[in-house]
Amino acid sequence: MKKNIVIIAGIIIIVTTVVLFLSLKKKGHGPSLVAGSSISGLLSQAKEFETKANFIEAKNKYQELVNNHSGSNEVMNWQKKIDELNIKLLFSTTITPNSQLYEIRPGDTLVKIAKQFKTTPELISKANNISGDKIFPGKKIKVWTAPFNIVVDKSQNILMLKTNDEVIKTYIVSTGTNNSTPVGTFKIVDKIVNPSWFKPGAATPIAAGNPENALGTRWLAISLPSYGIHGTNDPMSLGKQVTQGCVRMLNADVEELYTIVPKETEVTIVD
C-alpha cells in the first residue's frame, strides 16, 4: 500500500513539473525562449522610442542589447545604432549630461558663445536649428560643455570620437602606407572648409572641388606640420593603410567631425 502511495506521489510530482514547465514556456519564460524574447522585446522598445524621437531611451535600450546579449551576431549593428543616436542627440535640442541651456545675452555671437564653452559655432547652430549667424537675446539655446577627444587606431584603421571616456562614434579611416602615420598625442590647430591641395612636385595647388584634390571637403590640421585629418576623393581606399601619413575619412564623416570638434581638441594616434 505504502509502495503504491509513493508511486502515485511521484507521478503527481512529475506531471506537475511538466505542466509548470509547459506553462512557463508558453509565456516565454522557458529556457529556449528567454534570450529571443528579451532581444525582440528590447528591439521593439528601442525602435518605438526612436520613432518618438526619444533618443536617450532608444540609446539605453540598444545599450542593454549590447550589454546583455554580447554573443549575438547583431551586436555590431546595435553598436552602430548607438553611434547614430549619439550623433542625433548631439545635433538635437535634447539636453544631456554634457550640455546645458544658455540664455543669449546682448552682444553675444555664435563665435563668442562657442569660445566661452570651448565648442564650435557649427555645433551650436546644428543643435538649435539656427540658420545663418543671427541670434536673439533672451532666447535659450543648447550648448555642449564637455571636451571631445579623438583616438586614431592605425592597426584597425578607425577613428574614435570620445567625450569623458565615452565613445560617441567610431569612423572607418585610412592611415599611412608603411606605417607612416605618426604616433603620439597632438592637437587640432587649424580647420579649413574646402581646402586646396598641393600635390607633391606640383607648382600650383589643386582647387577644392577638383576630382584630383585628395583632401576632399575638410582639413583638420594637427600640431605636426603637414599632417592632419581630411576627406577623400577615393572612398574605396578607406579601411586601408594607403595615405602619405594623414588620416583620411569619408567626406560626409569629416564634415560631421568638423562640425563637432573645436581647435585644441586632443588627437591621440596609436599603433
Residue 47 belongs to domain with CATH number: 1.20.58
Say whether both 153 and 137 belong to one domain: no
**How many residues does this entry show for the chain?**
271
Last residue of a domain, one of 144, 178, 211: 144
Say whether both 205 and 243 belong to one domain: yes
Catalytic site positions: 230, 246
Say whether both 168 and 256 belong to one domain: yes
Residue (of 213, 214, 221) closest to 189 by Cα position:
221
Residue 152 belongs to domain with CATH number: 2.40.440.10
Cα–Cα distance, 131 to 124 (Å, whole number): 11
What pLDDT is attached to residue 199? 82
Say whether both 60 and 156 belong to one domain: no
Instruction: Compute and round to an integer the Cα radius of gyration of the chain.
Output: 27
Say whether both 264 and 171 belong to one domain: yes
Pairing of strands 140-144, 99-103: antiparallel
Which residues in 175-187 are b (16+ Cβ under 10 Å) and which e?
bbeeeebeeeebe
Contact 186, 223 (CB under 8 A): yes
Say whether both 26 and 81 belong to one domain: yes
Say whether both 251 and 167 belong to one domain: yes
Helix (H) or strand (E) holding 151: strand 148-153
Tell me the pLDDT tens digit for each residue of 119-141: 999 999 999 999 999 999 999 99
Last residue of a domain, one of 144, 173, 206: 144
Contact 228, 217 (CB under 8 A): no
Say whether both 124 and 68 belong to one domain: no
Contact 100, 145 (CB under 8 A): yes
Could you identify the residue written with the cell 502515485? 8
Say whether both 242 and 153 belong to one domain: yes
Say whether both 154 and 264 belong to one domain: yes
All residues at 6 or more sequence positions from 10 whose CB lies less than 8 Å from its CB, including other chains: none
Residue 116 belongs to domain with CATH number: 3.10.350.10
Contact 222, 188 (CB under 8 A): yes
Angle between helices 55-68 and 75-90 (to 10 degrees): 160
How is residue 53 written as a grid cell? 524621437
Tell me the residue range of the domain where 104 lies.
Answer: 99-144
Last residue of a domain, one of 90, 115, 134: 90
Cα–Cα distance, 167 to 163 (Å, whole number): 7
Say whether both 26 and 74 belong to one domain: yes
The count of structural domains within the chain is 3
What pLDDT is attached to residue 112? 98
Say whether both 10 and 118 belong to one domain: no
All residues at 6 or more sequence positions from 147 whose CB lies less than 8 Å from its CB, including other chains: 118, 163, 265, 266
pLDDT along the chain (271 residues), means of 10: 47 46 44 57 94 95 94 95 98 96 98 98 98 95 98 98 96 97 98 92 85 95 97 96 97 98 98 94
Cα–Cα distance, 233 to 242 (Å, whole number): 13
What pLDDT is attached to residue 161? 98
Alpha helix positions (H), the chain: 2-26, 34-51, 55-68, 75-90, 110-117, 121-128, 251-260
What pLDDT is attached to residue 200? 79
